[in-house]
Amino acid sequence: MAAPVVRAGDMIVVVPPPGVLIAPGQIPLKGTGAVLVGGLPACTPLDVEGMPPIPCNYSKPGFVGGLGTLRFKLLPLHYSRALTRGQPVVVDPGAGFLFTFVLVKPAQTPNGFPDPLPPLAGTARFQRKPMPRPVQA
């Protein structure tokens, strides 16, 4: 069975390392693909990997106020085999993909000591909106 196509309005859900909270935890996707899936444009790899860095906050037990940015990297299994106008679309085989966290400001303790081990990477997954049901006349 073919994997479902990721499309505009679907979300990237950030799955940070255990004990770390990264916000925003969900990032909506803009589809720019030429093909419509359920009336919405499909996502291309550039819609995920080419989006500008996402500003975010992070905290973990004992440390608050950390700042950074997120970037995403798909795995080869997230690329469709069929090309649409010379470009693959993003598919969701159910496996996660990678994010990189670029530290801007480390989280701190209430006494002002910086986090010695800020998050640097983790995984993410897709959360897809339900497909519209076909209308029967």
14-48: pLDDT as tens digits:
999 999 999 999 999 999 988 888 899 999 999 99
Q: Quick one: which of 90, 85, 84 has its CA closest to 126?
A: 90
92-104: pLDDT as tens digits:
888 999 999 999 9
Ranges of each domain in the chain: 11-127
In this predicted structure, the answer to whether residue 59 has a pLDDT above a threshold of 80 is yes
With contact defined as beta carbons under 8 Å apart, do 42 and 33 qualify?
yes
